[in-house]
Amino acid sequence: MTNIMDCLYERVNKKSHICVGLDTKLEYVPASDHHLAIGDQLFNFNKRIIDETADLVACFKPQIAYYEAHGLEGMMAYKKTLDYLRSKDLLVIGDIKRSDIASTAEMYAKAHFEGDFEVDFVTLNPYMGFDSIEPYLPYFNSGEKGAFVLLRTSNPGAKDIEMLNHADEPLFMTVGHGLKKMSEEINSGGKISPLGLVVGATHEREAEKIRSSFKEMFFLIPGYGAQGGTADIVRKYLDDDLNMGVINSSRGIITHFKKFDDGESKIGAYAREAVLNMKRDIYGE
């Protein structure tokens, strides 16, 4: 029996480690679409990216804030993007970074694992406490849904909390041990736990320790490219068979067209080129 994280592992095996972040801004939309409603502008841009890269990447990660910023129009674009991805049998990480407890967290889980905004995985913030993760466990135990929980994030300010000393180790390691225990108790029927970790590609000195400490957990690795993460660093986060993680790139892929005079007419083609460049960088091809 497989679960949703096993499916992602298989997509990595079949396609690549790459996750395309759909952090879509209106300023990226070509002038030819400016006459359309905002929701259509955002969706059409995403569709161009998806159509040209779907065969090369393991999954897609729309960041919900870029859609919430445009109100109902933006959220309709978010929904249409999710619907389109699922119609093409593509795996989706809803980057929502929720953190709450009890019935409120149950409603967040329902909102993003069922209904209009349904995705395969969500991102969660555990720093409110492990009880902020517990309401999602029924979905994880079903094997049909998963999550990536913030551990060691890529932003410089992460040191303000994540690096605080706790029991002779950085706080993020204590959090990681708790999440690992929770992960081991999930009964999803698959080989890999549906509870994974977010680890930034900007922390070279810690990468090998994090991988060895949480070797059975799948990683979502942001920070490659625009934030300074390199192929050498992300490879340290992957296990011996190099399949226990996906590497996210957002701006580096979806705005690659801006480097070219004819970019607006070839947004999807240049996104594909960026993915191929990223594959060569990671795999040394």
Q: How confident is the model at residue 57 (pLDDT cuts 50, 70, 90)?
A: very high
Q: Is the pLDDT of residue 239 over 80?
A: no
pLDDT of amino acid 285: 61
Q: What is the mean pLDDT of residues 19-44?
A: 98
- Rounded to 5°, angle at Cα 246 from 39 and 146: 75
Q: How confident is the model at residue 3 (pLDDT cuts 50, 70, 90)?
A: very high
Report d(CA 281, CA 284) in Å as an integer. Answer: 5
Full 3-state SS string of the chain: CCCHHHHHHHHHHHCCCEEEEECCCHHHCCHHHCCCCHHHHHHHHHHHHHHHHCCCCCEEEEECHHHHCCHHHHHHHHHHHHHHHHHCCCEEEEEEEECCCHHHHHHHHHHHHCHHHCCCEEEECCCCCHHHCHHHHHHHHHCCCEEEEEEECCCHHHHHCCCCEECCEEHHHHHHHHHHHHHHCCCCCCCCCCEEEEECCCCHHHHHHHHHHCCCCCEEECCECCCCECHHHHHHHCCCCCCCEEEEECHHHHCHHHHCCCHHHCHHHHHHHHHHHHHHHHHCC
CATH number of the domain to which 42 belongs: 3.20.20.70
Q: What is the mean pLDDT of residues 252-264?
A: 96
* pLDDT over 90, % of the chain: 77
Place of tokens 């990468």: 207
Residues spanned by the domain of 62: 4-283
* pLDDT over 70, % of the chain: 98
Q: Smallest Cα–Cα separation from 122: which of 188, 59, 189?
A: 59
First to last CA, the chain: 34
Q: Which of 161-165, 220-224, 230-234, 238-242 has the lowest mean pLDDT?
A: 238-242
Q: Is the pLDDT of residue 44 over 90?
A: yes
Catalytically annotated residue among 25, 47, 97, 110: 97
Number of domains in the chain: 1
Q: Is the pLDDT of residue 280 over 90?
A: yes
pLDDT of amino acid 240: 63
pTM for this prediction: 0.95
Report d(CA 79, CA 277) in Å as an integer. Answer: 30
Instruction: Assess whether 97 carries a catalytic annotation.
Output: yes
Question: Phi first, then psi: what are they for 246, rounded to 5°?
Answer: -120, 145
Beta strand pairing status for 165-166 and 169-170?
A: antiparallel
Q: Which of 9-23, 51-65, 130-144, 215-229 has the lowest mean pLDDT?
A: 215-229
Summarised one tens digit per residue, pLDDT across range 153-203 is: 888 887 887 888 888 888 889 999 999 999 999 999 889 999 999 998 887
Report d(CA 148, CA 151) in Å as an integer. Answer: 9
Report d(CA 134, CA 128) in Å as an integer. Answer: 12
